[in-house]
Amino acid sequence: KKGLHKLTDLTLIEIKEILAEAESFSRGATWNSEKQRFVANLFFESSTRTKLSFEVAEKKLGLDVLNFSAETSSVQKGESLYDTAKTLESIGADVLVIRHPKDAYFEELKGIQIPIINAGDGCGHHPTQSLLDLLTIQQEYGSLNHLNIVICGDLRHSRVARSNAEILTKFGANVYVSGPQAWMNGYAEQYQYVTMDEAVEIADVMMMLRIQHERHHEESFYKENDYHLQYGLTVSREKRMKANSIILHPAPVNRGVEIATELVECERSRIFKQMKNGVAVRMAVLKKALSYV
Ligand code: CP
C-alpha cells in the first residue's frame, strides 16, 4: 500500500535511500522486475516531463505501462477518481501514478490497496519533482548542508515550494524566499525574504518557479516585462551570481518572465539535468513502491 503522496511522509533516511538509488540509476545501474507488473499513469492535468519521464522509468524497469487518457476514458461519462482507480486496481494494475488538479486528491483514495505515487496534486505536492531537485543539488555540491538556496517567484501556487523549503531546511540548507509579496503566502514569516538583487549575491542555488497562470483566479497585477525586471532572473542579475552557483527551474519555463530566455541553457543552468534526473528518481520511487506489492 505504501506509495508516495508527500515528501514529508518520508523520513530523512528514506529520502537518502531513494536519492542513493536514483544516483545509481543515473550512473547506468539497471533493475528489472522479476514478475510481470502493470503500472497505470492517470493524468487528469496536462504534463510533458512528469508523464513521459514516468513512462521512460517504467519501461527501463521492464514494467508494462497501461495507457490511460482522461479525455477518452469513462471519466467523460462522469466516473469518479475513486471508481477509476478502483477499476484499474481490479483489472490488475500494481501501481498507480496520478496527477490531479484537486489538492490532496489521494485522501479520497484510502480504499485503494495498491501504491499510489503522486505526480502532482493541485497546489499541494509534487514529491518526485522535489526529489529530482534534491538529487540535482546533491550531485553539484555533494551535501546540502549550509547551502544558500533562494526559492523565487510564484510560491503561493507552487506545489513544490513548501515541501522543498521544509526538506531543504531538514537537510541543513539555509532557505530564503523572493518574489511578489502577494505570492508569499506566509513564507516570508517563516523564511528570510530577499529581493532578487540580494538573492543573486548570496545564492548557491537560485530555485526559480514558474508563474502558474492556470491557478490564478484574480486579475494579474503585473505586466510580464515589469515582472521580469523586478522579480525575474535577468541577464544582468545572472552576471552577479556567485562563482559555481546554479540555476534550477522545474519547467515548463515562461521565457522572458521569471527567467531570461538566454539563461535557460546557460552554463549555470541545470534545468535539463533536472529533467534527466527525473527519470532516475522515478525509477527509484517505482522500485520502492513495487517492493510493497
Ligand atoms: N515540472 C513538471 O512537473 O513538468 P510537467 O508539468 O510538464 O510534468
Question: Which residue shows C-alpha cell 538556496?
Answer: 149
Q: Whose CA is nearest to atom 4 of ligand 1?
A: 49
pLDDT digits (tens, 9 = 90+) for 199-251: 999 999 999 999 987 777 766 777 788 999 999 999 999 999 999 999 999 99
**Contact, 278 vs 128, CB < 8 A?**
yes
Q: Which atom of ligand 1 is nearest to the CA of 53?
A: 8
Q: Is 158 in the pocket of ligand 1 (CB under 6 A)?
A: no
Cβ partners under 8 Å of residue 201, min gap 6: 240, 241, 242
pLDDT at site 213:
77
pLDDT at site 191:
97
Q: Is 41 in the pocket of ligand 1 (CB under 6 A)?
A: no
pLDDT at site 219:
64
Ligand 1 site-directed mutation target among 43, 44, 46, 47, most atoms within 8 Å of CB: 47
Q: Is 50 annotated as a binding residue?
A: yes
Q: Is 48 in the pocket of ligand 1 (CB under 6 A)?
A: yes
- Count CB atoms within 10 A of the CB of residue 213: 11
* Domains defined along the chain, listed by start: 7-125+276-290 (3.40.50.1370), 127-275 (3.40.50.1370)
CA of 287 to the centre of ligand 1 (A): 21
Residue 225 CA to residue 146 CA, distance in Å, equals 34
**Contact, 70 vs 88, CB < 8 A?**
no
Q: Is 138 annotated as a binding residue?
A: no
Q: Is 162 annotated as a binding residue?
A: no
pLDDT at site 224:
82
Q: Which atom of ligand 1 is nearest to the CA of 251?
A: 1
pLDDT at site 167:
95
Q: Is 70 in the pocket of ligand 1 (CB under 6 A)?
A: no
Cα dihedral angle (50, 78, 109, 92), rounded to 10 degrees?
-70
Looking at the predicted complex, does its ipTM rise above 0.95? Answer: yes
CA distances from 208 to 165, 247, 251, 271 (A): 13, 7, 9, 10
CA distances from 120 to 43, 45, 100, 104 (A): 9, 9, 6, 9
Residues of the chain with pLDDT under 70: 218-219
Asked if the bond preceding 252 is cis, omega within 30° of 0, the reply is yes
CA of 233 to the centre of ligand 1 (A): 20
Buried b (16+ CB within 10 A) or exposed e, 31-52: eebeeebbbbbbbbbebebbbe
- Count CB atoms within 10 A of the CB of residue 216: 14
Q: What is the DSSP string of 141-208?
A: HS--TT-EEEEES-TTT-SSHHHHHHHHHHTT-EEEEES-GGGTTTHHHHSEE--HHHHHHH-SEEEE
